[in-house]
Structure 1
Amino acid sequence: MPASTSLSGLSWPTPDGTPLLTNLTLSFGSERTGLVGRNGAGKSTLLRLISGDLAPASGLVRATGSIAMMRQDAIGQPYDTIADLFGVRPALDLLDRAEAGLAGEGELADADWTLPARIEGALLRCGLSVGPQTPLGTLSGGQRSRAALAALILAEPDFLLLDEPTNNLDRAGRKAVIDLLRGWTGGAIVASHDRELLEEMDAIVELTSLGAARYGGNYSDFRQRKDTELDAAARELAHAEKARTEAARRAQQASERKARKDSAGHRAWARGDQPKILMDAAKGRAEASGGAGARLRDARREAAEEKLSAAREKIEILQPLRMDIPPTSLATGRTVLRLESVTGGYPPAPPLIRDLSLNIAGPERIVIAGPNGSGKTTLLKIITGQIPPQSGLVELSVPFALLDQHVQRLDPALSLRDNFRRLNPVADPHMAHAALARFGFRATDALRCAGELSGGERLRAGLACALGATPPPPLLILDEPTNHLDLDGIAALEAALAAYDGAVLAISHDTAFLGSLAPDRTIDLGA
């Protein structure tokens, strides 16, 4: 039977009782489905409900076949080995005992002699030449992600669930994920903000506060249909707002006409122009007519309000996300950074950076490229003074802002406002609120604790604290900035960087982001 998963009336609230997923009814077959939505929309939660890690508050999850899930926050502990991650340590121990002649006859029946070769094949398919006893702590974050992907390949599930599988991966690792999905014949649901990966999907499911909507085709097809739908919904909303305004205008005109007639009637009554019996009859007819008119106007207003409400339901009411960076006025030709014959790393290991020279002048945009483990982040730490070079000269001539993908400069125990003021000591509370608002943290959102934010929110808060001050630093150093941003956040970051007039030094494996950044030069550490 082909692999399939169906959800019926599925609901799940956040720990404080706020509805997150409400009455979802969806089905997934033997196809590759991309799961998209803003940070906090419930993508990871939905995958955990499908995998069985969570039980729904209401509704049902039905699945045929086996399910395996790769989670962005569950790639093993540093002291574990590849075998632990794969869940095959007992099986490998049995093979070792069997080869040593220490296994009993009953155990030998359970021995899987093909296992070592299958482990090696899964690892090689993901670009890893390591053995099953390799400690995870010796691998980079990207290599661990590849190992987790290899564990899924070894498991050979009928249905694959991937949560941000390309985060932390270099180009080779991203290609391994894409190649895996291209050849996947079972079902797959992939929660991702990676536009290149989403182009490989057969369908897209979008989660919003209004529920879930399914779109056939890849990400480009989804974006085109979504834009068309939003344009149509916006026109419908504008028409409904116009109809409500017109209904209110007509009701006001009718009310003013009635007021003028009532005033004229009162004056005629006071003058005594007609007999009282005729005046009373006229008053009765006017009141009856006025009551009927008022009821008709009320009905029209209610109908207009209902149409307006229905139109609004088609458009998710969300404050547009913007990231506004003030100008730096960095002069063309001004020396920003100079590296001369720099060598460095983490002794006693051999240095990752060897005899590197680099000059950045004016608002240049430089990309540091290379595979995982080639020393990209190490180089940024040398540049920013976090680790000293073993030899050579590092000369940083302007203020800079560093934003790493884990946003380690934010204190998780402090509010965003207090984090901003800690990192920008001259800012008063009003300046902090204004700067945070420019990055989407308005009013009470600025008082949220940094430790409570999602990955994407934390990165956006880091950008606000790094670049929200006036004037901003003339050099922006980015280490995988799109890893935890949602699609709207990435678009806002790209727009902000397009308007930024300072220098940029960036590490990224996101092809679409790099295309938007339009770097002047690329320094490839893997060359």
Structure 2
Amino acid sequence: MPSHSFVVIDHLNFAWPDGTPAITDLSCTFPPGLTGLIGDNGAGKTTLLRLIAGELQPASGSVVVSGSLAVLRQDVATRPGSTVADLLGITPIRRALRAVEAGSVDPDDYDLIGDRWDVESRALALLDASGLGGDESLLDRPAVSLSGGEATAVGLAGAELADADVTLLDEPTNNLDAASRSRLYDSLDRWTGSLIVVSHDRELLEHVDAIVDLDPRGTRVFTGPFSEYEQVRGAEQAAAERSLAQAEADVRRIRRAAAADQQHKAQRDRAGRRDAARSGMGKGAQHYYQNRSEKDGASKARARAAQAEQAGAARAAADAAARLPDQIRVDLPDTEVAPGKQILALSMGERPLRIDGPERIRITGANGVGKTSLLRIALGDDDADLSARAVALFAEPPVSLVAPKVPVGLLGQRDDLGAFGTPLEAVRSAAPDRPAQAARNLLARVLVTGEMVSRPIGELSGGERFRVALARMLFADPAPRLLVLDEPTNNLDMASVDHMIEALEDYRGALILITHDGWLADRLKVDRQWELDAGGDGTRITDRDVR
């Protein structure tokens, strides 16, 4: 791989067909090595990747990519009829190899193969290293049979197999279990060429060489991992806030001084008129002193005005530097659950699984081990297909003894917003009798404001859809006393994750969390873990106290 491979963005502008600007006058350089691309939801990270990939054309400005390019999109394609080989991008080469083996001398076949005669063995080795096995039949496995995490792992193997000079990854850890994430981090550490990865995964961002932050106050490029950038940014934020406090103090001081000048002038004018009247000073002399006083006063006023203007400008600049981007701010309704109140109970072997009171449970395990199935059973779902899957997964299929007797709020990996036309319709559907303005107010608190409340659901980004789904859950009447979160942070920026955590820290109900993100579980202070482990006789479940 050439060590000079990089991407240069120069005065880039892009807007959607309705005129909504997505990227405005962006200029930055992605250096060689691994670069983490971060920014708030809606900052344009995925749009920028699509512009770099050539899928979108800028309105003006330029994107220059040095060398070949490979892309792993946020949702790995699993079209009906496609195979693992299709996801790896090696199907045309495999066809050419089969043709040559059958005796083809077509130059096109040889050109297509190039020097990649071992592409199948390399692909199987990468798949094996990804935890998917190395059997040759895997290449012909239908893509639709893969779990989300397995599809992502195949896509990552394909990106590595492409040997591109520049590789683009969009949220690659969203559906990966802990073991798969660890393998991905190892892959990044040995990656050659340039790689740009959009991610909010803090652990992944510790493996990059540089950070590019699409900040509305100005895009920044920082050399080093995210933790170092966060420290620098925190120090700068504190300094900016101190500068803002000083600038505001200067504005107040100058305003007080201007008011004092006016008061002193009025006092001097009154005293001057009294003295003139007592001394019998003529009108000419009075006009002279009055004009001189007014000129002196006007000169002081102009000086004060100039000082006020400068202080105001300094205050505006300090305010712009200190201002944080908008973030999710949600006040959860009263959701208290009494300690010891039985929320649910499952029969699972000799030891039942249960939640009592406002406990916080994390469900962990590898992709495909049955976490979501266990969750559905716990919530009392008696679907026949689910029962059959439970029999296949668990040696002793769990049975819901006590389904939740409290209102449940569910945020899954896939939302159900497709049934609604707009965010406002989606939220109001949760409680049709509540006023529309209450729905608008809640949407505003999750940063869905103005015309966005009437925007088609299909035009929303992943993060925007999550915020609408969150608002819809919280709008329900009665409010949920049991929150069920299935990988809730997959499409959220870091600021939104922080504020979601702050909101949930004040939540007084029970909580079930499925996540591969240990950092998130630590921040949410879970009490226990239901650990699922696939064995030869079925998935085993361990209930472990982690307080």
Task: Name the SS for the 2:214 alignment partner.
Answer: strand
Cα distance, 1:286–1:499 mapped onto 2, change above 3 Å: same
Per the alignment, residue 36 of structure 1 pairs with 38
Cα distance, 1:263–1:69 mapped onto 2, change above 3 Å: farther
Distance in 1 separating the partners of 2:231 and 2:209: 15
Distance in 2 separating the partners of 1:175 and 1:291: 71
Moved more, 33-42 or 430-439: 430-439
The yes-or-no answer on 1:326 pairing with 2:336 is no
Cα distance, 1:237–1:461 mapped onto 2, change above 3 Å: same
Per the alignment, residue 238 of structure 1 pairs with 245
Cα distance, 1:419–1:105 mapped onto 2, change above 3 Å: closer
Per the alignment, residue 372 of structure 1 pairs with 367
The yes-or-no answer on 1:121 pairing with 2:125 is yes
Mapping of residues 58-73 of structure 1, within 5 Å: 58-73=60-75
Task: Name the SS for the 1:243 alignment partner.
Answer: helix
Per-residue displacement from partner, 1:320-371 (whole Å, max 9, x unpaired)? Answer: 53232233221122111122359xxxxxxxxxxxx99522111121122222
Per the alignment, residue 357 of structure 2 pairs with 362
Task: Name the SS for the 1:132 alignment partner.
Answer: helix
Matched length = 513
Distance in 2 separating the partners of 1:138 and 1:483: 22
Moved more, 27-36 or 379-388: 379-388
Mapping of residues 69-108 of structure 1, within 5 Å: 69-101=71-103, 103-104=104-105, 106=107
The yes-or-no answer on 1:305 pairing with 2:312 is yes
The yes-or-no answer on 1:47 pairing with 2:54 is no
Per the alignment, residue 7 of structure 1 pairs with 9
Q: Output the amino acid matched with 2:494.
A: L
Mapping of residues 122-141 of structure 1, within 5 Å: 122-129=126-133, 131-141=138-148
Q: Retained in 2: the 8 A contact 1:406–1:459?
A: no
Match of 1:500 among 507, 511, 534: 507
The yes-or-no answer on 1:408 pairing with 2:416 is yes
Per-residue displacement from partner, 1:101-144 (whole Å, max 9, x unpaired)? Answer: 4x245456445532221221232232223622222111111111
Q: Retained in 1: the 8 A contact 2:36–2:199?
A: yes
Task: Name the SS for the 2:139 alignment partner.
Answer: coil
Per the alignment, residue 348 of structure 1 pairs with none
Moved more, 288-297 or 485-494: 288-297
Per the alignment, residue 477 of structure 1 pairs with 484
Give, in angstroms, the shift of residue 169 of structure 1. Answer: 1.4
Q: Retained in 2: the 8 A contact 1:326–1:471?
A: no
Task: Name the SS for the 2:141 alignment partner.
Answer: coil
Distance in 1 separating the partners of 2:262 and 2:88: 76
Cα distance, 1:108–1:35 mapped onto 2, change above 3 Å: closer
Match of 1:521 among 520, 528, 533: 528
Q: Retained in 2: the 8 A contact 1:436–1:468?
A: no
Match of 1:399 among 381, 402, 407: 407
Moved more, 10-19 or 147-156: 10-19
Per the alignment, residue 217 of structure 1 pairs with 224
Give, in angstroms, the shift of residue 194 of structure 1. Answer: 0.6
Give, in angstroms, the shift of residue 50 of structure 1. Answer: 2.4
Per the alignment, residue 426 of structure 2 pairs with 419
Distance in 2 separating the partners of 1:356 and 1:162: 43
Give, in angstroms, the shift of residue 381 of structure 1. Answer: 3.2
Distance in 2 separating the partners of 1:373 and 1:514: 20
Mapping of residues 123-522 of structure 1, within 5 Å: 123-129=127-133, 131-262=138-269, 273-340=280-347, 357-384=352-379, 388=383, 390=387, 392-394=399-401, 395-408=403-416, 411-416=419-424, 418-441=425-448, 449-468=456-475, 472-522=479-529
Distance in 1 separating the partners of 2:417 and 2:57: 36
Distance in 1 separating the partners of 2:281 and 2:434: 77
Q: Retained in 2: the 8 A contact 1:33–1:189?
A: yes
Give, in angstroms, the shift of residue 490 of structure 1. Answer: 1.0
Task: Name the SS for the 2:46 alignment partner.
Answer: helix
Give, in angstroms, the shift of residue 460 of structure 1. Answer: 2.3
Moved more, 170-179 or 85-94: 85-94
Cα distance, 1:141–1:201 mapped onto 2, change above 3 Å: same
Q: Retained in 2: the 8 A contact 1:5–1:61?
A: yes
Q: Output the amino acid matched with 1:213.
A: R
Normalising by structure 1, we get a TM-score of 0.89
Distance in 2 separating the partners of 1:56 and 1:108: 36
Give, in angstroms, the shift of residue 268 of structure 1. Answer: 7.8
Q: Pairwise CA RMSD of aligned residues?
A: 2.8
Q: Output the amino acid matched with 1:296.
A: A
Per-residue displacement from partner, 1:217-241 (whole Å, max 9, x unpaired)? Answer: 2121111111100000010111111
Q: Retained in 2: the 8 A contact 1:125–1:150?
A: no
Q: Output the amino acid matched with 2:11.
A: G
Give, in angstroms, the shift of residue 67 of structure 1. Answer: 1.9
Give, in angstroms, the shift of residue 193 of structure 1. Answer: 0.5
Task: Name the SS for the 1:368 alignment partner.
Answer: strand
Q: Output the amino acid matched with 1:7.
A: I
Per the alignment, residue 544 of structure 2 pairs with none
Normalising by structure 2, we get a TM-score of 0.86
Per the alignment, residue 537 of structure 2 pairs with none
Distance in 1 separating the partners of 2:456 and 2:442: 17
Q: Retained in 2: the 8 A contact 1:68–1:159?
A: yes
Give, in angstroms, the shift of residue 309 of structure 1. Answer: 2.1
Give, in angstroms, the shift of residue 242 of structure 1. Answer: 1.1
Q: Output the amino acid matched with 1:366.
A: I
Give, in angstroms, the shift of residue 85 of structure 1. Answer: 2.5
Per the alignment, residue 393 of structure 2 pairs with none
Q: Output the amino acid matched with 1:157.
A: A
Distance in 1 separating the partners of 2:33 and 2:436: 51
Cα distance, 1:359–1:250 mapped onto 2, change above 3 Å: same
Cα distance, 1:90–1:108 mapped onto 2, change above 3 Å: closer
Cα distance, 1:238–1:448 mapped onto 2, change above 3 Å: farther
Structure 2: which 5+ runs fail to align?
388-396, 535-547
Give, in angstroms, the shift of residue 378 of structure 1. Answer: 2.6
Moved more, 29-38 or 222-231: 29-38
Structure 1: which 5+ runs fail to align?
343-354
Moved more, 17-26 or 145-154: 17-26
Per-residue displacement from partner, 1:362-414 (whole Å, max 9, x unpaired)? Answer: 11211222221222223333444555253844522221111112222574413
Per the alignment, residue 346 of structure 1 pairs with none
Q: Retained in 1: the 8 A contact 2:79–2:144?
A: yes
